[in-house]
Structure 1
């Protein structure tokens, strides 16, 4: 596939790291200019967004989009990684836990919550990523961080075995592994996560995703479809392509942005955001 600029919605397979997918895509697209938004664990599957060419500059706007996941909570076993990839560290008899109790416990994690990142994560502590420390057998204290769980539903899969299906809509930075483990703890025992699948990032859902070796490239304008957009004429487009600071009224946008600014043919010219009162400035300029 020849090099171009755009967004690929990939369905990541289990066993691949997000970096593995990027490395494969570099060969597919014939360029090293490929990046991803929103890391997935190797055992997880589902939506991974890849920016190709100049679209790598747009990835920072995609990372904060709301995420949706499905997975399975397994009650009764805690693991080193909080998921099925880790070693079992504790076993609890939770055979008496009912589906109603699981649902009630899960409801306590809906809304704005504080969450401690797992040791096996990419969070940095004093310049080191936690997963690097974990591989060395080092565990450090982690500060809880604010995240938002917009919606969380629980459905029984195998009640005698303590297996429940989770469907989660959440803010960027939410660890579903931690959520599963915390629900287990709230029920008086423990638990871990398995079979995690990300089914959407913003409006980019798994039903439009493709394997990494057969990608479809969306335009840069389409990559920003979850943001408000404004179309400008050739004259204003020329000023925008030069990265000029503009009066907010020239883009006729009232909020703080960011906004995708499109040319007459629908092509992405830039991404603008609020600057000082009454003014907007370019966050990214793509040009003509």
Structure 2
């Protein structure tokens, strides 16, 4: 409202409204209050959006079992944009999007745990900032193998497991510690002819397994053994699949197995207990406190990265890793 509009409104009111003229100041105060309220509201919204757009860094959130990593990221993005005052935010629409956000290290729909998010310039630094080990806790089931190596797949084989003892299990774990060779699962985010192998398989196409590749297991321990179920903790390097580990381990024990539950408890410097924000804390205030700032890449670094971008995969696809089946 402009002052001139308020004056015209009052004059018209005097001509048409039989009420005493002393009520006019009340109307003017109401109009001025509305104007102030609108101005304050707009200022708050602009301030919140500017604050959100100023974020540059990475932080960790908790991904629950069920949705894909992409779905979780869209939920986070929608919540932040809504808090910042963006009307009807569409997180899936990338063109003219006021917020740049991405995640590093995909977890599939059946997995839960630490999902690291990059925001602003942080999206360019995910690979660098996440260098290091990852930790998982996996619950497996002996006696049944599935095509996806986890509980979401179809059972393709059943074998006895009565002969497996806790001592034999722990002894066999030693063979899978250190530098080992591992064949990635068919159902994975690894690509063939530009398409994810898991997608090709769901389309009914035949896919050959990728060749074995070197991976690193820093530590591997048995936490519980209650056949047919067992729980293991794994600390590994990039490109490692816990699903393949469980499958290979069971075969070495003359049986078969698959993963029932998988939780990532650590990625890079982020741990599940200390850093992963649950959905009720996906707010500007909480993220401000949790954000780990990233140094902005130098001009030379930008040019090198731009030159390589045509040939290099995204952070979540760079080496693959357990849990990246479906996203």
Q: Normalized against structure 1, the TM-score is what?
A: 0.74
- State the shift of 1:174 in Å: 0.6
C-alpha distance in structure 2 between counterparts of 1:219 and 1:284, whole Å? 32
Picking from 187, 202, 207, the partner of 1:139 is 207
User: 2:62 matched to 1:11?
Assistant: yes
Asked if the contact 1:72/1:196 (under 8 Å) is kept, the reply is yes
1:172-198 per-residue CA deviation (whole Å, 9 max, x = no partner) reads 111111111110011011111121000
- For 1:86 and 1:110, how far apart are their aligned partners in 2? 27
CA contact (8 A) 1:57 1:284 kept: no
Q: Does 1:117 align with 2:184?
A: yes
Q: Is the 8 A contact 2:176 2:217 kept in 1?
A: yes
> Residue 7 of structure 1: CA displacement?
2.0
Aligned to 2:240: 174
Select the structure of larger CA radius of gyration. Answer: 2
1:203 positional shift: 1.9
SS in 2 for 1:217: helix
Larger RCO: 1 or 2 (CA < 8 Å, sep 6+): 2
Q: Deviations over 1:126-177 (max 9, x none)?
A: 322111112123332311121101100013341xx32111100000111111
Distance 1:134 1:143 in 2: 17
Q: For 1:75-103, what per-residue CA distance to the aligned partner results, in whole angstroms no more than 9, with x for missing partners? A: 11100110111111111011121011111
Q: State how far apart, in whole Å, the 1-side matches of 2:75 and 2:264 are.
A: 20
Match of 1:27 in 2: 78
Q: Of residues 151, 166, 169 in structure 2, which corresponds to 1:99? A: 166
Structure 2 CA distance for partners of 1:56 and 1:125, relative to 1, 3 Å: same
- Cross-structure match for 1:247: none
Q: Secondary structure at the match of 2:292?
A: helix
1:156 aligns with 2:224: yes
Contact 2:69 2:107 in 1 (8 A): yes
Task: Assess if the C-alpha contact under 8 Å between 1:10 and 1:47 holds in 2.
Answer: yes
Between the two proteins, the alignment pairs up a number of residues equal to 232
Cα distance, 1:21–1:271 mapped onto 2, change above 3 Å: farther
**CA drift at 1:219:** 7.7
Q: Which residue of the partner structure matches residue 117 of structure 2?
A: 50
1:82 aligns with 2:170: no
Q: 2:271 — aligned with what?
A: 205
Unaligned runs of 5+ in 2: 1-47, 82-97, 305-327
**Other-structure match for 1:277:** none
Partner of 2:87: none
Q: Which residue of 1 aligns with 2:26?
A: none
Residue of 217, 237, 241 corresponding to 2:287: 217
C-alpha distance in structure 1 between counterparts of 2:74 and 2:303, whole Å = 25
Q: Is 1:191 paired with 2:242? A: no
Displacement after TM superposition at 1:217 (Å)? 2.3
Q: Which of 40-49 and 214-223 deviates more?
A: 214-223
Structure with higher helix content: 2
In terms of fraction of residues, the more strand-rich structure is 1
Seen in structure 2, the aligned counterparts of structure 1 residues 171 and 183 have a Cα distance that, compared at 3 Å, is same
CA RMSD of aligned residues (A): 2.4
TM-score, with normalisation over the residues of structure 2? 0.66
Cα distance change, pair 175–93 in 1 and its aligned pair in 2 (3 A): same
